[in-house]
Amino acid sequence: MSQIQVFGLPSCDTVRKARKWLEAEGVAFEFVAFKDVGDLAERLPRWADKASMPALLNTRARNFKALEASEQATILGDQDQALAAMARIPQLIKRPVLDTGEQVLAGFNEADWRKALDL
């Protein structure tokens, strides 16, 4: 398995919970804050392909709800627009994002992460 990376916002409770869980399970990983991902716009299409766009886009985020209804509709109806919005506003990405090299999971679900990591 290649280097496991976890992406997210350091202040996010779910990200902190996932990181603690990985540490407790003895999983070696690299945490990368969204703001430190220099090629976020280039990574997002792969993440959307691997995890699926509905899984990756956080429509429950305050930042999404703060958008005009027309912009929300555009994002929901056009994957390219959604990817561009997530690159511009990383808070629109469901977090944390687990990238094993083979799989990408958005959001923390212990059972799904256990399966992806062969634990």
Phi, psi (rounded to 5 degrees) for 6: -120, 125
Q: What is the pLDDT of residues 24-60, one digit of tens each?
A: 999 999 999 999 999 999 999 999 999 999 999 999 9
Number of domains in the chain: 1
State the pLDDT at residue 84. 97
State the pLDDT at residue 75. 96
- The enclosing domain of 13 has a CATH number of 3.40.30.10
Q: What is the pLDDT of residues 60-100, one digit of tens each?
A: 999 999 999 999 999 999 999 999 999 999 999 999 999 99
Confidence of residue 2 (pLDDT cuts 50, 70, 90): low
Q: Domain containing 100: what range?
A: 5-116
CA angle (23, 27, 29) in 5-degree steps: 90
